[in-house]
Structure 1
């Protein structure tokens, strides 16, 4: 007997605050066959606010705090790795989605929950969005009372943890905000290929928000830590090869080709 196919699959979008996760989630939501959370009475239509399975208070998900908080790093085998968590998430999110083969859920804290969500929803896929840490620091400065150097150190620590988590994921795509705003059509095609969907027709205008800020030098240790991610001092963005993982080679290669 063949088991029933699930009615939908999840694609989770995550990244540090002000990294481009909302733009990316909207791009995915415009693809045919994707249901998205729209017009919800919560910040940026983030699903984390619409569920009660995993506590999310003013002390959770704080910009420049959550990504290095050990209690927010949720992985396989943690206290939330239970059928009850999955059932509650499904029940709480269901009213916010229309019909679709995919459901896109975006919350910055997904950056530290991907391994748990993979356990709860084994067919889920993940899109991680990152942005130059000097731009992130400038963008969140209105919310966070923290020196820019400390915020960049937080970015480095968060992405060091991300690098370790990526090895545990079956289907994940890593995008940079700077590449996305420079080539939005290519990234729409890559996201469609990653989900094995036809390209959408949405053409939301995008602008390079990095131009809103001025950038200074970095410490030598910081610059060295950023280099593997294709970032340098003064807001510099360096070439970086596409990073896509998927169990099906044809899907992986199609997404990579669109990103090149």
Structure 2
């Protein structure tokens, strides 16, 4: 495989739409992704042995200390040897006849400078999703609090904002905008990569943010509120009983496997997390009261030229 080949690296916080974006891009006849690899989600991070994969750091929701998993040019030596070791693990799963090779691993978002040093012809696409919804989606993998996941999201994107200054080829896109106009966004990416537009493919995707949000709201109203009414017998909720229920939620319901009870606890946890994170979330272009859309341009949020943003 020659240096002239283009390499696309897709990254983003876990559950931000990286898999969806990679799948649709790989449908282009000139783009080859890693497929039938036998590793989780066909992610290249699990095939190579040059850098540690996400699971080493605890997996989704647990990556808070970025000092080790964030890689830069300084970690890319000797570049030729490291590059070849990675290619040896990825090349068997790419179509050598393709013009563009695609690799998707969520934490590419923390390794872009490192990957650019090894692959000078690298192109990066970072997808950003509402941090509150990301925390809801990641909860199936972790029992950490929503506040913990949201803080992790913010730390990762702060580091990305700094790294973007060092990248030659990159694009930013929100999950919400991609779902609202997938074909337009794909066409913008094709044009950027110098590929013909794939007019034969019809991208049909939907924004699942509201589904997550409404599921938590429904469980809270259907299960939790009636439970409190029965416990209190319709009388004012005394302080001692409120403390007791809070203790039960945090100490007992957290350990149960019943999905309904877990969702009750998670919804309460979301309320506490919103109280502590709403202002910070707003600074990243999202509103906790508007779960299905961003409210600011990524160009402004990440301090980059508008041409780097797909909208």
- The TM-score with structure 1 as length reference comes to 0.85
Could you tell me how far 1:81 is from its partner in structure 2? 5.4
Gaps of 5+ in 1: 244-248
Larger RCO (alpha carbons 8 Å, 6+ apart): 1
Indicate how the Cα distance of structure 1 residues 5 and 68 shifts in structure 2: closer, same or farther if over 3 A, else same.
Answer: same
Residue number in structure 2 paired with 1:65: 62
- Of the three residues 221, 230, 235, the one matched with 2:285 is 230
- Superposition deviation, residue 7 in structure 1: 4.5
* Candidates 77, 97, 100, aligned match of 2:98: 100
Secondary structure of the 1:74 match is coil
2:46, 2:27 → 1: CA distance? 22
Taking the aligned partners of 1:88 and 1:209, their CA distance within structure 2 comes to 38
Residue 169 in structure 1 maps to residue 167 in structure 2: yes
User: 1:136 offset after TM fit, Å?
Assistant: 0.5
- Report matched runs for 1:34-45 at 5 Å: 34-45=31-42
1:189 aligns with 2:244: no
Alpha-carbon distance, 1:236 to partner? 5.5
- Counterpart for residue 297 of structure 2: 241
Distance 1:138 1:190 in 2: 30
Q: Secondary structure of the equivalent of 2:150?
A: helix
Larger radius of gyration: 2
CA contact (8 A) 2:176 2:292 kept: no
**CA–CA distance in structure 1, aligned partners of residues 77 and 45 of structure 2:** 14
Distance across 2 between alignment mates of 1:30 and 1:75:
31
User: 1:62: how far off?
Assistant: 1.0
1:220–1:164 CA distance, 2 compared to 1 (3 A) = farther
Aligned: 1:212 with 2:211: yes
State whether residues 72 and 112 of structure 2, in contact with CA within 8 Å, keep that contact through their aligned partners in structure 1: yes
SS at match of 1:233: coil
Residues 9 and 124 of structure 1 are in contact (CA less than 8 Å); yes or no, is this contact kept in structure 2?
yes
Structure 2 residue 133 is matched with structure 1 residue 77: no
Q: TM-score, normalised by structure 2?
A: 0.72
Structure 2, unmatched stretches of 5+, are 217-269, 300-304
Q: Deviation of residue 154 (structure 1)?
A: 1.3
Contact 2:54 2:107 (8 Å CA) reproduced: no
Q: Does structure 2 conserve the Cα–Cα contact (< 8 Å) formed by 1:51 and 1:93?
A: yes
User: How far does residue 109 in structure 1 lie from its aligned partner after superposition?
Assistant: 1.6
In structure 2, the CA distance between the partners of 1:80 and 1:54, relative to structure 1 (3 Å rule), is: farther
More off after superposition, 51-60 vs 132-141: 51-60
Deviation, structure 1 residue 141: 0.3
Report the Cα distance in structure 2 between the residues aligned to 1:80 and 1:195, rounded to whole angstroms.
28
